Amino acid sequence: MQAVKTIRSRTVVMATTDIDTDQIIPARFLTTTSREGLGQFLFNDLRRHADGRDRPDFVLNSAAARDCHVLVAGNNFGCGSSREHAPWALLDYGLKAVISTEIADIFRNNALKNGFIPVVVDRKTHDYLLANPGVDVTIDIEQETLTIGDDRVIEFPIDGFSRFCLLNGIDQLGYIRQQASAIERFEENRPWRP
Amino acid sequence: MTNKKTLFEKVWDEHVVVEETADTPAILYIDLHIIHEVTTPQAFSLLRAKGLPVRRPDLVLATMDHSTPTTPIASFKDLEIAGNGAAMQVRQMEANCREFGIELLGFESAERGIVHVIGPELGATQPGKTIVCGDSHTSTHGAFGALAFGIGTTEVGHVLATQCLLQRRPKTLAIDVAGRLGRGVGAKDLVLGIIGKIGVNGGTGHVIEYRGDAIKSLGMDARMTVCNMSIEAGARAGMIAPDDTTYEYLRNRSRAPQGEDWDVALRRWRQLYTDDGATFDKSVKIDASKLTPMVTFGTHPGMVIGIDEPVPDRSSDPSFRKALNYMQVEAGKPMTQTSVDVVFLGSCTNSRLSDLQEAASILQGQRIAPGVRMLVVPGSQQIKKAAEALGLDRVFLEAGAEWREAGCSMCIGMNGDTVGQGKLSVSTSNRNFEGRQGMGARTVLASPMTAAASAICGTVADPRPFLESK
Ligand code: SF4
């Protein structure tokens, strides 16, 4: 994973609550054995009609959404299936972070492992962001802050270990493998064997 | 500091390889890793790229279920599954298992089936184990007092390479269910009722323990149905303390401990309960006797009502309005006026033998309504065989339903089994998200009995009148 330190972008807003991973990437696009190229299917069934034409009323199809890297979404973003294809598709499309009042557990885990940043904010901040699509924001991973415009600074929590890995581009598998002797000891000494 | 522990804490503490600190998550040992074709190819690619072997192939249980066809043919060997992608994925799974020395319960195996159905069925799922799978419904296995949860593909790679996972300790939520379920009201109605009460994010960050008399009186199939949908309340996992019902289920299953090992395991399993005086971070109480058959009316499992209740009106909420619009249902009216195109009996929530028996008890001697398509997909090839031995396949076929091979099928619509654009399905699966059962599909989640009654009536229907005459 590449290091991620700050993200600066205008926002694009999808106010819908409970956007599940089936909406982020429908199951029929999961018959792949690679993690590349999934951006073309991101939000497919919201983005396109059944015949493949774009839906002009879908926010990512608007001119204003072009080059936006930060998605503001309704409460409980990323619920449902554990498919890591969801953050892969978001990243491949060019999005780098999502801001919401609540982000589902497995999605958040998957996102952080791929450098896609889940930002959880309070309701007041969220309401402001929902009401002001296109506002400039800066997400600073090191400081754990979201800056809206030039001066409105909100703190948001990131798990310390994930933050460290993001800032340094650290691969978590390498970290677990460093504990190989502890794993061996555990296997030898446990009172029962699975 | 008390040494009273919850069930979850006992299992968690026993698996900590390296303790969690403020800066680092715990390293947790995994006893059973279940894998399927959809969420593993990229993990195997990672291992290959790094030149790493699978650390404990003996602790991996592999099968194929999501992309596999359910058409009734003798052998899947040369089948182009649901298009090239699915076929490639299945072939890749076979190649990966071969290369990394993992036993695969593949097409020719009589033990193949949905990941969360075969783990328990083979006796691989056991009390006190940590179990993971690249699939959110891994929570199902918690019905045995295991700590079981879904992980992403990167984490699948971590477990394959190290048999360990980085985890922050979740919080605990007790759901106490008092009373008894009424006739025609099952485990599916109970769990839908729970999700309706606490919401689709009510369990976020928590492991649920289901407790109380109503839970203790459930059989293992029903307990699995409840734990299965824990994720639909946002929870990491759901657990039920093991008891004699659990042990009787596991006794003599092929991968359960045998002989002396069984006695040793049993002594250990009997310690797996929440100590009196242990505390939970949160708790909720439910009265099972107040529940009726439940059906969803919207586009997530928390949008759920009793079969006699009208669809609520929350027109000031745009997400709510969008959901009703997608489902083409009206506020103020009960779901029983909604006509049905497809009925799906299957999925890791409700495809076990008792689910099929319950549905068959309603369908016995009846015909499904003209124009309704009903698909019955057993959760495993073993269940299929057992159901056929009981003559259930005849009941379904004579009623006009289709009897299929095991797999996920229409629960996720990856293998070509889909509901159809704009069509309405009454489904015993777990997710009614937009397009979950195929593009434009409208899904009403319900119990096997409600699904069977709906197939007969051609509208969403209450199963209880069908039981009165029996
Ligand atoms: S039956 Fe449905 S929910 Fe269960 S594992 Fe298969 S796709 Fe997932």
pLDDT, tens digit (0-9, with 9 covering 90-100), for B401-411? 999 999 999 99
Which residues does chain B have within 8 Å of residue A190's beta carbon, measured at their own beta carbons?
A: 14, 29
CA-nearest of B58, B218, B33 to B115 is: B33
Residue B108 — pLDDT band, cuts 50, 70, 90? confident
- Residue B284 in this model has a pLDDT that exceeds 90: yes
Nearest atom, ligand 1, residue A27 CA: 7
- Strand, coil or helix: B430: coil
- Look at the block and give the residue holding tokens 């099968």: B63
Q: Could you report the per-residue pLDDT of B345-378, keeping only the tens digit for each?
A: 999 999 999 999 999 999 999 999 999 999 999 9
Read off the pTM. Answer: 0.95
- Residue B69 in this model has a pLDDT that exceeds 90: no
Q: What are phi and psi of B97, to 5 degrees?
A: -65, -40
- Residue B78 in this model has a pLDDT that exceeds 70: no
- Does B231 sit in the ligand 1 pocket, CB within 6 Å? no
Whole-number Å distance, alpha carbon B352 to ligand 1 midpoint, is 13
- Do residue A31 and residue B46 have CB atoms under 8 angstroms apart? no
- Do residue A173 and residue B413 have CB atoms under 8 angstroms apart? no
Chain A residues 48-107 with a CB less than 8 Å from chain B: 50, 74-76, 79-84, 102, 104-106
Strands (E), B121-204: 130-133, 147-150, 164-167, 171-178
Q: How far apart are CA B425 and CA A132, in angstroms?
A: 38
- Residue B83 in this model has a pLDDT that exceeds 90: no
Question: What's the pLDDT score for residue B67?
Answer: 86
Q: How far apart are CA A172 and CA A178, in angstroms?
A: 10
Q: How far apart are CA B159 and CA B149, in angstroms?
A: 13
**How many residues make up chain B in this entry?**
470
pLDDT, averaged in runs of 10, over chain A (194 residues): 93 96 94 91 95 94 95 96 96 98 95 96 97 97 96 94 93 94 97 92
Task: Give Cα separations from B360 to B221, B364, B391, B452 (angstroms).
Answer: 16, 6, 10, 8
> Averaged over B210-223, what is the pLDDT?
98
- The strand pairing partners of B427, in sequence order, are B344, B445
Dihedral sign for Cα B311, B316, B321, B323, please: negative
- Do residue A159 and residue B24 have CB atoms under 8 angstroms apart? no
- Do residue B264 and residue A105 have CB atoms under 8 angstroms apart? no
> Averaged over B435-463, what is the pLDDT?
97
Q: Which of A14, A30, A31, A85 to mutate to test the interface with B (most CBs of B within 10 A)?
A: A31
- Do residue B82 and residue A164 have CB atoms under 8 angstroms apart? no
> Averaged over B103-115, what is the pLDDT?
94
- Does B430 sit in the ligand 1 pocket, CB within 6 Å? yes
DSSP letter, residue A29: G
Angle at B235 between CA B159 and CA A21, to 5 degrees: 75
Q: Which residue type occupies A40? A: Q
* Contact (Cβ atoms closer than 8 angstroms) between residue B115 and residue B36: yes
Measure CB to CB from residue A31 to each of B85, B162, B299 and give the nearest one: B85
Measure CB to CB from residue A79 to each of B32, B234, B322 and give the nearest one: B234
**How many residues make up chain A in this entry?**
194
Question: What's the pLDDT score for residue B82?
Answer: 61
- Residue B470 in this model has a pLDDT that exceeds 80: no
Contacts of A9 (CB under 8 A, 6+ apart): A67, A68, A69, A70, A96, A97, A136, A137
- Look at the block and give the residue holding tokens 């606490």: B198
Nearest atom, ligand 1, residue B412 CA: 7
Q: What's the mean pLDDT when you consider all of chain B?
A: 95
CA-nearest of A163, A5, A175, A120 to B22 is: A163
> Averaged over B107-114, what is the pLDDT?
93
Dihedral sign for Cα A122, A123, A126, A132, please: negative
- Strand, coil or helix: B113: strand
Task: List, in order of start, the domains of chain A with CATH numbers.
Answer: 6-189 (3.20.19.10)
Ordered DSSP codes for A21-66: HHHHS-GGG---SSSSSGGGGTTHHHHB-TTS-B-TTSGGGSGGGT
- Does B93 sit in the ligand 1 pocket, CB within 6 Å? no
Q: How far apart are CA B85 and CA B23, in angstroms?
A: 41
B22: tokens are 């403020």
Residue B2 — pLDDT band, cuts 50, 70, 90? low
- Ligand 1 atom 6 nearest Cα: B408
- Residue B34 in this model has a pLDDT that exceeds 90: yes
| Distance, C-alpha B461 to centroid of its chain | 23
Cβ atoms < 10 Å from Cβ of B270: 13
Q: How many CA atoms lie within 13 A of B464 on its CB side?
A: 15
Closest chain B C-alpha to A56 CA, distance in angstroms: 17
Contacts of A123 (CB under 8 A, 6+ apart): A101
Cβ atoms < 10 Å from Cβ of B322: 15
- Strand, coil or helix: B114: coil
* Residue A81: Cβ-neighbour burial (10 angstroms; 0-12, 13-18, 19+): buried
B108: tokens are 């020719």
Ordered DSSP codes for A62-128: SGGGTT--EEEE-SSBTBS---THHHHHHHHHT--EEEES-B-HHHHHHHHHHTPEEEE--HHHHHH
> Averaged over B425-446, what is the pLDDT?
96
B105: tokens are 């319960």
Closest chain A C-alpha to B136 CA, distance in angstroms: 5
- Residue B75 in this model has a pLDDT that exceeds 80: no
- Do residue A81 and residue B136 have CB atoms under 8 angstroms apart? yes
- Look at the block and give the residue holding tokens 């106010």: A15
Cβ atoms < 10 Å from Cβ of B7: 27
Q: Could you report the per-residue pLDDT of B304-314, keeping only the tens digit for each?
A: 999 999 999 99
CA-nearest of B91, B79, B92 to B41 is: B92
Angle at B95 between CA B165 and CA B139, to 5 degrees: 35
- Residue B73 in this model has a pLDDT that exceeds 80: no
Q: How far apart are CA A182 and CA A173, in angstroms?
A: 15
CA-nearest of A158, A19, A136 to A86 is: A19
- Do residue A110 and residue B421 have CB atoms under 8 angstroms apart? no
CA-nearest of B301, B297, B114, B283 to B191 is: B301
Q: How far apart are CA B109 and CA B95, in angstroms?
A: 16
Q: Could you report the per-residue pLDDT of A102-138, keeping only the tens digit for each?
A: 999 999 999 999 999 999 999 999 999 999 999 999 9
DSSP letter, residue B240: -
Q: Which residue type occupies B4? A: K
Whole-number Å distance, alpha carbon B47 to ligand 1 midpoint, is 26
- Residue B198 in this model has a pLDDT that exceeds 60: yes
Share of chain B above pLDDT 70, in %: 97
Task: Tell me which H or E stretch contains B445.
Answer: strand B442-445
Measure CB to CB from residue B129 to each of A104, A164, A194 and give the nearest one: A194
Chain B contact for A45 (CB, 8 A cutoff): yes
- Look at the block and give the residue holding tokens 């994010």: B201
Question: What's the pLDDT score for residue B80?
Answer: 67
Q: Which of B38, B141, B173 to mutate to test the interface with A (most CBs of A within 10 A)?
A: B38
Nearest atom, ligand 1, residue B430 CA: 3
Task: Tell me which H or E stretch contains B454.
Answer: helix B448-457
Question: What's the pLDDT score for residue B468?
Answer: 82
* Contact (Cβ atoms closer than 8 angstroms) between residue B390 and residue B357: yes
